[in-house]
Amino acid sequence: MKKTLLLGAIFTSILAITSCTKNNGCPNSSDKAIVRDFTSIDTCGIVFELEDGSKVEPMNLSEWQAFEFVDDQLVWLKFKNVSGQSTCQLGDVVRIQCVSEREF
């Protein structure tokens, strides 16, 4: 009985610790970002603002049509810098590798 309780407590502790760092499928090296909707500006669209205040412009947003991007939405973002012309002139052009919602 004591063994079962101890194993249950260990399992619960491990589950609690790992769930705090969960980022819904994106690798642990993903960045925290906020969705910024600049579609009202001529050539702009969705831009991501990183924790440090810098912004990145995705060049492959059409590949993520199943994901609904909403202004001020918190997301995990894994991306790779690519060469290309910025359409909004707000940040670096990137290729999204992974994006998922986050809670805080």
pLDDT reported for residue 1: 61
Per DSSP, the three-state class of 9 is helix
Residue of higher predicted confidence among 13 and 24: 24
Interval 27-63: pLDDT, tens: 888 999 999 999 988 789 999 999 999 999 999 999 9
- Distances in Å between the alpha carbon of 75 and those of 3, 8, 12, 17, 87? 41, 33, 27, 21, 22
CATH 2.40.50.500 corresponds to the domain 25-101: yes
- At residue 22, φ and ψ (nearest 5 deg) are -65, 135
Interval 59-72: pLDDT, tens: 999 999 999 999 99
pLDDT reported for residue 24: 57
8 Å CB contact between 96 and 77: yes
Mean pLDDT of all residues belonging to the chain: 83
8 Å CB contact between 66 and 99: no
pLDDT reported for residue 51: 97
Per DSSP, the three-state class of 65 is coil
Per DSSP, the three-state class of 18 is helix
| Lowest-confidence pick of 1-10, 21-30, 47-56, 81-90 | 1-10
